[in-house]
Chains A and B, each alone.
Chain A
């Protein structure tokens, strides 16, 4: 099971803070804590090292060089750290294992759960450790065990079973009991004072912005998730689970005529909406407000997607991308019609 080990300048034995500017380098065999991993049965074919400051200040170059070495060595697994509570070292470990994982090289780092490197690791695995080097002896066997499992290509179980930090991914499984029976257990437990949940919550609330100060002098855009597109759906906007959004020129049109526009939204019966697409994207009313001077001007492009079965992460990306374009165009307010 060929493994490559990543350490910083200190654990590579190159020096302390005075050597933190050391660029990426490749050492033969196991070095420092890598020897402990070898003692646990891992075969380390090479060690990569980089100064913490160098990595932080030249991330792109450092990463490119380290990945280059890694691809030459073609290991079955990359092991990084343990970095314990060291933020810079942890960040380098996390970033490197994430990059390796992206390239299909199984990778695992080890560090304290609050190390910022945990976030940087993305979908790669992180084994939790104590906050300082006193936790080395405890960490190495666990790190080696997970690395060996990854190198073998074994299907890993959950975080508790395998000893890694939850990565935020959700994986289906078949429980021994039905959801209904689990619900009764959870509720009786909660009434007994022990509250548990199978899925955590979290808020993704957007605070309403302050009122637009002077609407009569503001460029206003129309944006919708109602799946409103030119007749025939020329760009093939999906009716569910859109992977992106489109923008269409209004070309001075005064109304969204049924002959020219339609909704391809798959989440509701679009029959009535398609009799008058203005009810999805209120162009007729917006033009009236424009004529009356109640809004400064209407942006001559409208943005559309299908908000139906879209994971929140994906929808958030759409929002960011559209908002970026609107900001660049000087739009100060958006009429966002949802369905």
Chain B
């Protein structure tokens, strides 16, 4: 069944008020730095009344409306003493040198800054912020229900020439525990029956949402699933250079060596069931999720499925001996989405939203050079953006 995505003018942006949060609407390119950013979400609503970010049923069917050029940025500084995020700052610069590292600088940003009560637990605060943000993204698009779309795109995988290589996308979703989960239909990735095959349109249509607040640059915010460049490119190439076989969601941060190997083999089996000749394996966050990716790469290659891996580098920019977090010999085709340790030039914003002090105590307006690592989605490991790294 086909899915349609209808785009509407940003002028239809609805009322953005949210209880317990400050809301600012920032026009494209404003000299603003946004800090403590948890997630970025595109405003969407379904004319048939079903949820834009469903927790049951199946997305990727019928029609979904979107506001073009609008993104909701949810910001929250976890107050609790035991905050696990410590210095994992997450910044979006809407102008200045950092603007090159985000797609949001050219968009209207609805910045939500949550003000949780001091005594609230991190996990409770997070649930509130996440669900309110998704709900707001849906409300903001409500006016589209009475309007004419600017354009409508159709997503359907038709029959193609049998001689084209069958390509699947293996999308890794983190589950490292509270505050480090991605969600599939509202379930943490670890409880969502992964690895599992989904229709590519489901991924574009709100089936996967972000609750994973690890390293900002290596994060997969919700909007990067909604607008996923990899899935859209595979649709576009379907019938041209390839035969798009489908999407496998798989978990990152399996907790033991055995679990990691089992999960890698299970993801490979899903790819085999799709009849894939080749797979693109994407990564979520850093550290041991890179091991899950490498084991999956090896398992696929051993099963005769060719692989290309997408990942970011975490290399000291001054080191002449760069090395990936993990690597297997089968990983002979890797796209680098950049080195997150490189510094981005200092910039003085005119306004700061989200919080005036960075998590490491630096004033956000005078933070000096900031590593790429702290820019939301900058080195996204689904290949959403264009950052890369070269040997110099």
A→B interface (CB under 8 Å): 122-123, 156, 158-159, 166-184, 186-191, 195-199, 201-204, 238-241, 264, 266-271, 274, 308-309, 311-314
Contact = CB atoms under 8 A, between A and B. Distances in A.
B337 interface: yes
Given A196-B333, A201-B331, A171 B392 contact: yes
A240 B88 contact: yes
B315 interface: yes
B198 to A, nearest CB: 17
B155 interface: no
A184 B280 contact: yes
A173 B387 CA distance: 6
Contacts of B88: 240, 266
Nearest to A192: B165
A197 to B, nearest CB: 5
B387 A175 contact: yes
Counting contact residues on chain B (CB < 8 A from A), the size range is 35 or more
Contact of B335 (A156, A183, A239, A314): A183
B380 A179 contact: yes
Contact of A271 (B82, B324, B335, B387): B82
A167 B391 CA distance: 7
A195 B333 contact: yes
A197 B332 CA distance: 6
Contacts of B178: 269
A267 B253 CA distance: 12
Contacts of A186: 308, 333, 335
Contacts of A238: 87
B102 to A, nearest CB: 12
A187 B167 contact: yes
Contacts of B86: 239-240, 264, 266
Interface of A is mostly: loop
A196 B333 CA distance: 6
B3 interface: no
A180 B215 contact: no
Given A178-B233, A198-B336, A170 B82 contact: no
Interface of B is mostly: loop
B315 A191 contact: no
Closest 5 CB pairs of A and B: A179-B383, A266-B86, A180-B383, A168-B320, A180-B230
Interface in B226-255: 228-230, 233-234, 237, 241-242
B319 A184 contact: no
A88 to B, nearest CB: 22
Contacts of B342: 170-172
B384 interface: yes
Query: Which of A191, A198, A266: most chain B Cβ within 10 A?
Result: A198
Contacts of B167: 184, 187-188
B333 A169 contact: no
A183 B310 contact: yes
B320 A181 contact: no
B390 interface: yes
B109 to A, nearest CB: 21
A158 B319 CA distance: 16
